[in-house]
């Protein structure tokens, strides 16, 4: 009997750590890993290395992956959940647990560890990570809570997930190839393009949560605009993304077929959702959000094929 409290304490501690791990939403890690890989593989130095069959530093790339996907992204999502205390399903997490004590502190520690580990992928990579940590805190902390400011919530996510992830991938790829990590004009256009594309996707993540956000007092972009206006904005931002991605490919001397096809697919998807939105329930919007992730994955694949066609010998 004397050992029971100790066993209970250990069990509770294990449960707390398990819940904190769930709040980092590992189901999202593969998605962000792919987006980071797009930046890595589109880096001119990496494409040159593929053409020349040269080696890349896998240690540097591995550190970049952990720093960005687990440290920054996982920490960001857990930090957000520590204050939101969601009880309904959220993106990449069904039946979220109640955040254990210390979740916010541990999430911030995880983001800090990611920033320090990011030095293995170069100083610029670590600086980008640090800026995104700051954005994460400003987004979720009650004293600033940009998440509850319409427009600011979209801007933070477009900068962090869209521009930041792509730019971090470009920098990590260049560092792994032993080249200068300063992005070329094509890299900046690519980052801006994915920033706008994530800006287009972001309202979709809020459509099924509009009522919950309103009850909590969060005036998110989607709750302020409504469903149809949010999807119209998504279409407009998608067109902007296609323009920037096309400029990136033009800068690199690549065919415009890939960014053009990607833009068409994305805007058509947004338009179909807009047409069907009038009779859709929150559950329907949630299912369409996950379909949007599938379309995003298709966009990534098409763009990678276009960017790597010459290095892989796929073009004439």
Where is 192: in which H helix or E strand? helix 185-201
CB burial string 207-227: b at 16+ within 10 A, e below: bbbbebbeeeebebbbbbbeb
Tell whether the model's pLDDT for residue 219 goes beyond 80.
no
pLDDT digits (tens, 9 = 90+) for 280-295: 999 999 999 999 999 9
pLDDT band (50, 70, 90) for residue 314: low
Average of per-residue pLDDT across 186-190: 98
In the chain, at which residue ranges do the beta strands (DSSP E only) sit? none
Tell whether the model's pLDDT for residue 108 goes beyond 60.
yes
Q: Is 55 left (phi over 0), alpha (psi -120 to 50) or beta?
A: beta
Average of per-residue pLDDT across 164-185: 97
Structure tokens at 263: 């833009």
Can you tell me the distance from the alpha carbon of 215 to that of 161, in angstroms, rounded to the nearest whole number?
A: 26
Query: Looking up tokens 């509009």, which residue turns up?
Result: 210
Tell whether the model's pLDDT for residue 217 goes beyond 90.
no
Tell whether the model's pLDDT for residue 72 goes beyond 90.
yes
Residue closest to 252 by CA, chosen among 170, 162, 165, 159: 170
CA-based end-to-end distance of the chain: 77
pLDDT at 313: 67
pLDDT at 315: 60
Can you tell me the distance from the alpha carbon of 85 to that of 78, in angstroms, rounded to the nearest whole number?
A: 10
Can you tell me the distance from the alpha carbon of 210 to that of 86, in angstroms, rounded to the nearest whole number?
A: 13
Give the three-class secondary structure for 86: coil
Structure tokens at 176: 């792994």
pTM of the model: 0.90
pLDDT band (50, 70, 90) for residue 96: confident
Structure tokens at 309: 């066609």
The domain ranges of the chain are 29-308
Give ∠ CA 55-57-61 in degrees, rounded to 5.
130
DSSP 69: I
pLDDT at 6: 42
- 29-308, CATH topology level: Farnesyl Diphosphate Synthase (1.10.600)
pLDDT digits (tens, 9 = 90+) for 223-267: 889 999 999 999 999 999 999 999 999 999 999 999 999 999 999
pLDDT band (50, 70, 90) for residue 8: low
Beta bridge partners of 93: 90
- What integer best gives the mean pLDDT of the chain? 91
pLDDT at 85: 84
Where is 23: in which H helix or E strand? helix 4-23
pLDDT band (50, 70, 90) for residue 4: very low
pLDDT at 220: 82
pLDDT digits (tens, 9 = 90+) for 13-63: 888 999 999 999 999 999 899 999 999 999 999 999 999 999 999 999 999
Average of per-residue pLDDT across 59-75: 97
pLDDT band (50, 70, 90) for residue 3: very low
pLDDT at 198: 95
Q: Note whether 300 and 35 are within 8 A (CB).
A: yes
pLDDT band (50, 70, 90) for residue 7: very low
Give the three-class secondary structure for 93: strand
Residue closest to 30 by CA, chosen among 1, 60, 73: 73
The proportion of the chain whose per-residue pLDDT surpasses 90, expressed as a percent, equals 77
Structural Rg of the chain based on CA atoms: 20
């Amino acid at each position: 009997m004397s050992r029971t409290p100790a066993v209970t304490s250990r069990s509770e501690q294990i449960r707390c750590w398990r819940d904190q791990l769930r709040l980092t939403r590992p189901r999202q890690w593969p998605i962000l890993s792919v987006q980071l890989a797009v930046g890595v593989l589109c880096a001119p130095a990496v494409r040159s290395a593929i053409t020349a069959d040269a080696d890349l530093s896998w240690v540097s790339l591995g550190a970049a992956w952990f720093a960005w996907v687990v440290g920054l992204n996982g920490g960001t999502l857990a930090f957000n959940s520590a204050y939101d205390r969601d009880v309904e399903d959220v993106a990449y997490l069904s039946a979220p647990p109640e955040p254990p004590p210390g979740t916010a502190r541990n999430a911030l520690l995880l983001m800090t560890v990611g920033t320090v580990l990011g030095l293995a992928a170069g100083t610029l990579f670590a600086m980008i990570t640090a800026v995104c940590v700051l954005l994460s805190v400003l987004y979720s902390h009650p004293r600033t809570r940009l998440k509850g400011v319409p427009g600011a919530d979209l801007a933070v996510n477009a900068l962090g997930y869209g521009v930041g992830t792509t730019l971090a991938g470009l920098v990590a790829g260049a560092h792994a190839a032993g080249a200068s990590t300063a992005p070329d004009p094509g890299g900046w256009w690519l980052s801006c393009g994915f920033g706008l594309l994530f800006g287009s996707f972001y309202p979709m993540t809020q459509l099924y949560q509009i009522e919950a956000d309103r009850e909590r007092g969060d005036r998110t972009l989607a709750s302020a605009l409504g469903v149809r206006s949010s999807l119209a904005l998504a279409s407009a931002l998608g067109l902007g993304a296609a323009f920037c991605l096309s400029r990136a490919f033009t800068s690199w001397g690549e065919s415009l077929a890939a960014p053009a096809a990607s833009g068409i697919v994305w805007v058509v998807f947004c338009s179909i959702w807009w047409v069907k939105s009038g009779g859709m329930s929150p559950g329907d919007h949630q299912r369409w959000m996950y379909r949007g992730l599938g379309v995003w994955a298709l966009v990534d694949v098409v763009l990678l094929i276009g960017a790597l066609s010459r290095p892989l010998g796929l073009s004439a």
